[in-house]
Amino acid sequence: MTSFDVVILGAGYGGLTCAVRLAGRTKKLRLRIALVGKSASFQERLRLHEGLADPGFGLPVRLPALAEFLAGSGCTFIQGEVREIDRAERCVRLHAPDGEHVLSYGQLVIALGSRTVPEPPGADQHAYVLDAEGPRAQPELKRRLASLDVSAPRIVVVGGSATGIEVAAELVRLRGAGVTILERGTFAGFATPAVKRRLVEAVNRAGIVVREHVRVEAVEPDRVVTSAGDMPCDVCVWCAGFSGQPVAPAAGFETDAAGRIRVDPWLRALGDPFVFAAGDASIPIERCGAPPRMSAFFALATGAHVADTIARMHAGKRPRPFGFWTWGQAIGVGEEAVGFATMPHDRQIGPIYGGRMAFLLRAFFIRLLVRLIGLHRRFPALPFWLGRGAYRDEAIGRYAPPVLTPLHRRDEARS
Ligand SMILES: Cc1cc2nc3c(=O)[nH]c(=O)nc-3n(C[C@H](O)[C@H](O)[C@H](O)COP(=O)(O)OP(=O)(O)OC[C@H]3O[C@@H](n4cnc5c(N)ncnc54)[C@H](O)[C@@H]3O)c2cc1C
């Protein structure tokens, strides 16, 4: 068993931000910090749909390998898959390339992100998902698309929200492809009527068919069975919602219907003073400004906030509750995008931008997200986010603020 003051699980947007910011902010305290990730490199998950239709396309690498990126930062990278969180023993069990490992922690940060879990019968065998890993994940989908031997492949994308739209717009570039989005509710249900109109125009221009109020009941090798009848299909891609990783509910954390860990105003897991959660893995139960939604920006802000909270606890300072506002949103539709400001409460305000300009702006912000992680690494106190005081004051009084106890420290954690 190896002991650490802080163990951070998941090296995505939230976990990596937390790791570099915390290491940078606590350098003088010489905390032992470990970041655990399944993959040796950072995966830009929100770009997984890019180049799906182009077998020669590979995502450009924007960060060095994680061990290299973290070298000298004060945080150790451990590659491995988290198999179990043992809250009674305060340790985590990993399956690593060189065998099984047990890490004991003083404080734990869970930033394991989310995954796609298709529910209907047959979907787990015949539908692909836009996860980075797994038997029917993005690499398998790319292989399947590259090996299609029909001249006009019929592709069904399940889910008419932002991810489904972006995925469908990539797939329709496949030569001769006919792409249909099936949505059990209304298409672009997250959008204001004006945004929805622009998205409908963009998908129409791309030649994508949208069918609303159609529920997929089963997925078979060559068709999907829906509430509106059977639809023949060569490839089915499931983009209808994300769920938290299974290790959190298995460890007995209180989760919502999507499997996200319910957290208090300091982003602590309810009922466990040693555990924080960030990013897609977390759901604040009190109002904290903008409504929390699984997104890269929310992951960065919560990851950074958890780092600040732990750093303040170790420095003997009072941590602050979490608050945030969003800036904007842009949905890519092939080589164009629909973008708009959402400040402060994640609802569209002001003009809606479309076309190539919006696409380039979206690409700029996606790049900025990775740049921000690099900035946290170099100047940990510098990157900030808006809406830090946006939590609801009266709700905070119901919770005891986090305080450092001897159990949160490394020496005691080792014993
Ligand atoms: C196709 C697609 C398009 C998207 N587009 C957008 C967009 O335009 N804008 C936006 O804001 N969001 C978008 N998202 C959502 C966004 O990618 C997520 O909200 C964001 O990645 C969440 O960050 P995170 O750090 O919480 O989790 P992740 O980025 O998922 O990182 C979690 C990390 O934990 C690792 N992990 C998981 N389980 C284990 C385990 N058991 N052991 C060890 N490591 C583990 C994973 O490998 C991963 O590296 C998109 C998502 C997809 C799939």
Angle at 135 between CA 129 and CA 141, to 5 degrees: 50
Distance of CA 263 from the midpoint of ligand 1 (Å): 19
pLDDT at 414 over 80: no
For residue range 247-271, list pLDDT tens digits in order.
Answer: 999 999 999 999 999 999 999 999 9
pLDDT tens across 110-157, in order? 999 999 999 999 999 999 999 999 999 999 999 999 999 999 999 999
Q: State yes or no: pLDDT of 198 exceeds 60.
A: yes
Distance 370 CA to ligand 1 centre (A): 13
For ligand 1, is residue 38 a contact (CB within 6 Å)? yes
**How far is residue 372's CA from residue 62's CA, in Å, rounded to a whole number?**
12
Query: Separation of 72 CA from ligand 1 center, angstroms?
Result: 26
The answer to whether 91 and 80 are in contact (CB under 8 A) is no
What pairs with residue 262 in β-bridges? Answer: 283
- Ligand 1 atom closest to Cα of 302? 26
* Domains and their CATH numbers in the chain: 2-115+243-325+382-414 (3.50.50.60), 123-238 (3.50.50.60)
**Does residue 25 have its Cβ closer than 6 Å to ligand 1?**
no
Segment 393-411 shows an average pLDDT of 85
Residue 144: φ, ψ to 5°: -60, -45
pLDDT (0 to 100) of residue 145: 97
Confidence category of residue 413, pLDDT binned at 50, 70, 90? very low
Q: How far is the CA of 12 from the centre of ligand 1 (A)?
A: 6
247 in Cβ contact with 83 (< 8 Å):
yes
Cα 27 to Cα 111: distance, rounded to the nearest angstrom: 22
User: Is the dihedral angle over the CA atoms 27, 32, 37, 38 positive or is it negative?
Assistant: positive
Which atom of ligand 1 is found nearest the CA of 303? 25
Ligand 1 pocket member 106 (CB < 6 A): no
Contact of 84 with 42, CB cutoff 8 Å: no
Q: Does residue 296 line the site of ligand 1, with CB under 6 A? A: yes
**60 or 377, higher pLDDT:** 377
